[in-house]
């Protein structure tokens, strides 16, 4: 079963991508042309895949691991509902998931 994920770009433009259960949110965003670098390819060694999850969705996702929380400390513009998109695998009940691309999607450690 297909599902839709909406990304809100920095300027407020909404991009809806179709995905399947089991797809990784970072890959879906990249395939849709969003500026998510994902430099470490899911190894939790960067924060360039940082997204801000819509508040109504945040509590419905599986909790971030301690490693993910630590890496989010490096993310520019991190919020309470920030997540690393590479750590989110989509499931059927995530149809309609909405995330925003942070205003600074670069890796804070490179500055
Ligand atoms: Fe590096 Fe997600 S791709 S932490």
CATH number of the domain at 56, please.
3.10.20.30
Instruction: State whether the beta carbon of 99 lies less than 6 angstroms from ligand 1.
Output: no
Question: What's residue 12's pLDDT?
Answer: 94
In a domain, 80, yes or no: yes
Gap between the Cα atoms of 29 and 25, Å rounded? 6
pLDDT at 103: 83
Query: Looking at residue 104, what is its pLDDT?
Result: 66
Domain count, the chain: 1
Which ligand 1 atom is nearest residue 84's CA?
A: 2
- 110 is a domain residue: no
Determine contact, residues 105/13, Cβ cutoff 8 Å: no
Would you give per-residue pLDDT tens digits along the chain (111 residues)? 699 999 999 999 999 999 999 999 999 999 999 999 999 999 999 999 999 999 999 999 999 999 999 999 989 899 999 999 999 999 999 999 999 999 865 544 444
Domain that holds residue 37: 2-105
- 64 belongs to a structural domain: yes
Note the residue count of the chain: 111
Cα distance between residue 60 and residue 80, in whole Å? 14
CA 25 to centroid of ligand 1, rounded, Å: 11
- Residue 87 has a pLDDT of 98
Sequence-distant (6+) residues with CB within 8 A of 54 are 81, 97, 98, 99, 100
Q: For residue 111, is it within any domain?
A: no
pLDDT at 107: 46
Q: Which atom of ligand 1 is nearest to the CA of 86?
A: 2
pLDDT of 110: 46
Is residue 8 one of the residues assigned to a domain?
yes
């Amino acid at each position: 079963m297909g599902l839709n994920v909406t990304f809100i770009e920095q300027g407020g433009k909404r991009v809806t991508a179709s995905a399947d259960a089991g797809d990784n949110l970072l890959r879906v965003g990249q395939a849709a042309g969003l500026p998510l670098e994902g430099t470490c390819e899911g190894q939790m060694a960067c924060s360039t895949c940082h997204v801000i999850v819509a508040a109504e969705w945040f509590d419905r996702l599986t909790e971030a691991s301690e490693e993910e929380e630590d890496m989010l400390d490096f993310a520019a513009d991190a919020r309470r509902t920030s997540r690393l998109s590479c750590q989110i695998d989509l499931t059927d009940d995530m149809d309609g998931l909405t995330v925003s691309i942070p205003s600074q999607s670069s890796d804070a450690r490179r500055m």
